[in-house]
Structure 1
Amino acid sequence: MFSKTSHFGIALGILNILFFILQYQQNIHTDSKNIYAILMLPITVVFIILAILKANKDWEGELFSIRKGLQTGIGVILVGGLILWVYQIIHANFIEPEFINRLAAVAQEDLKLDEQFTPDQVAEKIAFFKANYKFSLFIDIVLKSLFTGFFVSLITSLVINAFYKQR
């Protein structure tokens, strides 16, 4: 099953990298709010839906199950997220060594706006981020993607399942 739909995940990862490079060229890759994040959501949804539909077409003779749809969708989003995560670590270590410091500065400004954190707590959180940036990027990219991918896959699988039950 994975070999039939893995190209969707790889294509999604490459597209994510291209969007990140566009952001880097425009110097908005560290902004917490930019248009590219909004643009990537529908593209990601389309990739997940296409992968589930292709996998469903390849399972002729078998009944479609929500479980298979979830596996396919989450697999696609996981591959795409892991590819972007690896690229961002390469980017932070070789292309733009100041990337983590720039992300930390943006996070520090956001935390200062939140009145519940004291300046010492803000400094502690920023130091933790800098020390564990690979893990922080993993959580930000991969786990958020998995959360989105789960719900998109679930909704798509429920719609496909309902369609086949009506037949």
Structure 2
Amino acid sequence: MFSKTAHFGIALGFVLIASFILQYKLNVHTDPQNVYSLAMFPVMAIFMILAIVKVSRNGEPFSIREGLKTGIGVILLSSLMLWVYIIIHASYIETDFVDKLAVVAEQDLRKNSDFTDEKIQESITFLKDNFKFAIFIENVFKSLLSGFFFSLLASLAIKSKIFTNPNNA
């Protein structure tokens, strides 16, 4: 089943990578107020919904479980592709990317008065040492969480036949 919809995940992965490259070219990829990241949520939802609709129309009885598996599979594949690209980007294209993220993280932590200078430096050191894992958590887990909700809503809508045209029934 997923092999029939994997191309949606791969296509979304390339769209996310292209979006990251655009953000890099515009020099907003480390900006915490980045609007481009928010703009990708509807794009992700569209790809997941298209994959779920394709699964629902393959002639077999549709279940919410199938919709969830499809949507989460699409978002998992695409977010893993983006994660791998960001690691490659940080290692070879923009070698000071981690340092730029650390500066942004330090600015965010300084806004919170609960953090001492020692705690801030400890957090920044942890970020630099565990960059790959931190980016994995940031991209993949957040995508999976939002993907779960998008998939659930789309699956419920399809299951309740909201998208069914009464003329075709």
TM-score (norm 1): 0.95
- Among 68, 90, 99, the alignment partner of 2:97 is 99
Instruction: Report the Cα distance in structure 1 between the residues aligned to 2:54 and 2:32, rounded to whole angstroms.
Output: 34
Q: What's the CA shift for 1:103?
A: 0.5
Matching of residues 67-78 of structure 1 within 5 Å: 67-78=65-76
Q: How does 1:151-166 map to 2 (within 5 A)?
A: 151-163=149-161
Alpha-carbon distance in 1 for matches of 2:32, 2:55: 35
Cα distance in structure 2, aligned partners of 1:103 and 1:13: 22
Distance 1:115 1:5 in 2: 47
- Compute the displacement of 1:134 (Å): 0.2
Superposed CA RMSD in Å reads 1.2
Deviation at 1:158, TM superposition (A): 0.8
Q: Which portions of structure 1, spanning 4 or more consecutive aligned residues, are displaced by more than 6 angstroms? A: none
**Deviation by residue 1:14-60 (Cα, 9 ceiling, x = unmatched):** 000100001100111111111211210111110010000011112x0
Instruction: Tell me the alpha carbon deviations over residues 112-148 of structure 1, each in whole angstroms, 9 at most, x when there is no partner.
Output: 0011111111110110000000000000000000000
Gaps of 5+ in 1: none
* Superposition TM-score, scaled by structure 2 size: 0.94
Q: Which residue number in structure 1 is paired with residue 108 of structure 2?
A: 110
Identity of aligned residues (%): 53
> Equivalences for 1:8-87 in 2 at 5 Å?
8-58=8-58, 60=59, 62-87=60-85
AA aligned opposite 1:79: L
- The separation in 1 between residues aligned to 2:13 and 2:66, in whole angstroms, is 21
Greater helix share, structure number: 1
Corresponding residue pairs, total: 164
Measure the CA separation in 2 of the matches of 1:103 and 1:55. 39
Residue aligned with 1:52, SS: helix
The 10-residue stretch of structure 1 (126-135 or 111-120) with the greater mean CA deviation from structure 2: 111-120
In structure 2, C-alpha distance between the alignment counterparts of 1:155 and 1:117, rounded to whole Å: 39
